[in-house]
Amino acid sequence: MNLKYYILFVLIGALSCKPSFEEPQIPLDNYKVEDGFKLEMVASEPLLIAPVAMDFDSKGRIWVAEMTGFMRNIDGEGEDAPTGSIKILEDKDHDGVMDHAKVFIDSMVLPRALALVYGGILYAEPPNLWFAEIKDDKPINKILVDSLYATEGNPEHQPNGLMMNIDNWIYNAKSHFRYQRKNGEWLKEPTTFRGQWGISHDNFGRLYYNNNSKQLLGDHVLPNRLIRNKFVIPKNSVDQVLTNNQRVYPLHAAHVNRGYAKGVLDKDSLLLNVTSACGPMVYRGGKFPKDYDQNVFVCVPEANLVKRNILEFYGDSTAARQAWDGKEFLASTDEGFRPVNLYTGPDGNLYVTDMHRGVIQHQAYLSPYLKKKALEKQLDTIVNSGRILKVSRQEMGPFKIPDLDALTGAQLVELLKHKNGWIRDRAQHHIIYKKEKSVIPQLSLLAKDVKHPIAQTHALYALKGLDALTFDLLKEVATEGTPDVTSHSLVLLEAFASKDHVTEAKILFNELKKRDDKAVDLYLGSVIGVWMSVSEADFSPLLYELIEQYKNNSRIAEAILSGIAEPIEVVAQRFEEDEPLSKTYFYENLKKVADLEASNKANWIFTKKSVDEDSRTKGAKLFRQICSACHGMNGEGIEGLAPPLMNSEFVTKPIERLGLIILHGMEGPVHINGKLYELGTVMPGLIHNQNISDADIADIISYVNNAFSVNNVSLSPDKVKMLRNKKPKSGNEYTEKELLEYTNKK
């Protein structure tokens, strides 16, 4: 055969064996993104179904958790079937669209969170939190990190998130624990209970989250700053509503669970305010215009849209405002579009995890109204889809994604200056888990480089992770740094509180106080009590100065209280003798903490080993599954979501009234113990839930009454059956007025 034809024959044969890169073409004509941005489909069915969480590895591949068992039919049947999985999605032809998928773990029941950390994968499959090393894209050496990670019951209200923060701790939404791996051992610590679905952090390390009816909640301070004293229960600095504007601007009349209720829809049947907000994300990608830096994007799946909020920082607090009135950053008329989580990618772009399921309201809360509408519109048939979307800036290409696993320690340190927060975070984490001790001098130099303040903070926490921080370095950084860098230095200096450092710390603190900067004073206040326990004479004058200056500042008062190590009652007596200070907000709260300390009533996050600890009757289990998501495990209520049950007049006699509320639901506003709650949400009744029997409701009533009131009364299943026919006048939910009228009749 002629050599020329032989070569041609070989080439044709090789081309005919080329792997298939089939990529479904899904049009995005019914999606609208903000001008100047481009929306692309990165992955879709059949590669993935019902994605709820994802992460990127160093090769740019996407690891995704599929919650395929959630609401596969209108009655939510088959939820416990092991149909979920974690998959690895890959773009083998490098055109920006995922074309291959491999199963990493299968036969999972409702997996809900994952994070690529410590060279392996941390993932949640209720009730367990697992960690596995990765070899050849397969899990090995699987370890049970926490057998009490998630409660049984409603998957809408179980812990999730698994987000590594700048402080080297992994945080969750709907949880009061954080996790870290140190020297091969997993650590678990109490933290503030936060949010419902999704969690994010800003460049400073503050946390952001939300719940159904409040699109953006957050902490004004760094995590765990205010819970070091277990009797301090912060009320004004954590779990705060950052914007009172819950307005949404959908493109069409999407069907929502309480669409029949007054004030939920406008005259055109458009949703007015969020009802299922989730998946907040602080954009830190460095690719969008400058005014997008640290904006918070929020998923609103019930209205098929993604919101944009602009953060504003005030030293001791944070606030947010919607970017626009009348429009959203991303919206669609596709009622299958269900954005549930958002991520900044290694390329600096924004990624949207679209569960793409017709019905995302769990059957336990599904109203007859939405059930009927879903069947009419055949929304219940959208069950075999799932997408990941990418939003990018039109005129800018992506960053070159560095293969972090292949970089040297020195190269990883350089990446701490990168514009993309994803890359900075991962570089910091790689330095720590790889134990790159050789770069400690380089990190120390970067920590002092005032030209790169964000990189300074990453360098400090990389050094902390390597156990290489020193008092002298932190003192120098605090002296020269910006308010944010100085604040972190003060927090980290707390570990060096000893007699050896009293003199230098005193000089430093007094110099920092002269800056008269509220942010610095907040963190100075948070550490001063710790240093007072080493030398009261040296640091008490500064403590008094801070209290005097900020006597009515609730956030700084909570910060100071949390740092006080000695018995609070002793401190309270000392302040009682100082008449001016005894009339301050600080003293008022000091007395409350002293009372809690005297009665040994610690913050509940320190007493509950897990939210699944209660071993009471079936009523307790049903309460956890159905009610605690809104009212709290301890009946304390949840800010912006539901009022407290503890000692509520609606939990006490007549017990029939509680039965009416549980059966038929309740619409606000409502007064509890003399306080008005205007939550803008409706508590759904259980009357239409065919899986909840009269006996089940009687069990719930018995538990709630016994657990949250001084009464010890119950209601028989036969009485519950009778109450089913006592419907509200409106045919929907009871109002406070109607319930009180019922009480008077009794």
The pLDDT tens digits for 92-135 are 998 889 999 999 999 999 999 999 999 999 999 999 999 999 99
403 has pLDDT over 70: yes
Domain ranges of the chain: 31-392, 407-469, 614-745
Mean pLDDT confidence for 238-243: 97
Residue 406, judged by CB atoms within 10 A of its CB (0-12, 13-18, 19+), counts as: exposed
Dihedrals φ, ψ of 259, to 5°?
Answer: -60, -20
Mean pLDDT confidence for 183-212: 96
Q: Mean pLDDT for the chain?
A: 89
- What is the CATH architecture assignment of 614-745? Orthogonal Bundle (1.10)
299: amino acid identity, one letter: C
Mean pLDDT confidence for 704-729: 81
192 has pLDDT over 60: yes
Q: How far apart are CA 105 and CA 107, in angstroms?
A: 7
- Asked which of 558-562, 615-619, 631-635 is least confident by mean pLDDT, the reply is 615-619
Q: How confident is the model at residue 707 (pLDDT cuts 50, 70, 90)?
A: low
Q: Which of 285-299, 389-403, 640-654 has the highest mean pLDDT?
A: 285-299
Mean pLDDT confidence for 168-178: 97
Tokens of 472: 């002298």
Q: What is the DSSP string of 235-297?
A: SSSSSEES-S--B---SS----TTTTSTTTB-TTS-B-B-SS-EEEEE---S-S-GGGTT-EE
pLDDT reported for residue 398: 62
Count other Cβ atoms within 10 Å, centred on residue 1.
Answer: 7
Q: What percent of the chain has pLDDT over 70?
A: 92
Residue 464, judged by CB atoms within 10 A of its CB (0-12, 13-18, 19+), counts as: middle
Higher pLDDT, 76 or 398: 76
Cα maximum dimension of the chain: 108
Class of the 31-392 domain? mainly beta
Mean pLDDT confidence for 199-216: 97
- Asked which of 544-558, 670-684, 686-700 is least confident by mean pLDDT, the reply is 670-684
- Give yes or no for a contact between 189 and 606, defined as CB atoms under 8 angstroms apart: no
pLDDT reported for residue 191: 97
Higher pLDDT, 224 or 593: 224
With a CB cutoff of 8 Å and minimum separation 6, the contacts of 541 are none
Q: How confident is the model at residue 616 (pLDDT cuts 50, 70, 90)?
A: very low
Residue 514, judged by CB atoms within 10 A of its CB (0-12, 13-18, 19+), counts as: exposed
pLDDT reported for residue 268: 95
pLDDT reported for residue 624: 74
Higher pLDDT, 568 or 536: 536
Mean pLDDT confidence for 619-628: 78
Q: How confident is the model at residue 157 (pLDDT cuts 50, 70, 90)?
A: confident
pLDDT reported for residue 20: 53
With a CB cutoff of 8 Å and minimum separation 6, the contacts of 741 are none
Distances in whole angstroms, Cα of residue 568 to Cα of each of 202, 284, 442, 571: 33, 41, 43, 5
Tokens of 630: 């809104």
Fold classified for 407-469: Leucine-rich Repeat Variant (1.25.10)
Count other Cβ atoms within 10 Å, centred on residue 97.
Answer: 20
pLDDT reported for residue 617: 42
Higher pLDDT, 496 or 594: 496
Mean pLDDT confidence for 187-193: 96
Q: How far apart are CA 485 and CA 719, in angstroms?
A: 63
pLDDT digits (tens, 9 = 90+) for 289-334: 999 999 999 999 999 999 999 999 999 999 999 999 999 999 999 9
Residue 65 parent element (H or E): strand 62-66
pLDDT digits (tens, 9 = 90+) for 261-275: 888 999 999 999 999
Q: How confident is the model at residue 714 (pLDDT cuts 50, 70, 90)?
A: confident
* Of the candidates 587, 522, 512, the residue with the CA atom closest to the CA atom of residue 552: 587
pLDDT reported for residue 25: 80
Higher pLDDT, 491 or 621: 491
511 has pLDDT over 90: yes
Distances in whole angstroms, Cα of residue 400 to Cα of each of 184, 203, 305, 412, 659: 32, 21, 29, 15, 60
Mean pLDDT confidence for 550-554: 89
492: amino acid identity, one letter: L
Q: How confident is the model at residue 615 (pLDDT cuts 50, 70, 90)?
A: very low
Q: How confident is the model at residue 8 (pLDDT cuts 50, 70, 90)?
A: very low
Mean pLDDT confidence for 228-257: 95
746 has pLDDT over 60: no
* Of the candidates 163, 182, 160, 183, the residue with the CA atom closest to the CA atom of residue 173: 160
Q: How far apart are CA 659 and CA 350, in angstroms?
A: 46
Q: How far apart are CA 503 and CA 746, in angstroms?
A: 71
* Of the candidates 742, 651, 589, the residue with the CA atom closest to the CA atom of residue 232: 589
Distances in whole angstroms, Cα of residue 102 to Cα of each of 64, 387, 613: 11, 16, 37
Dihedrals φ, ψ of 16, to 5°?
Answer: -70, -20
pLDDT reported for residue 614: 33
15 has pLDDT over 50: no
Q: How far apart are CA 555 and CA 539, in angstroms?
A: 20
pLDDT reported for residue 261: 80
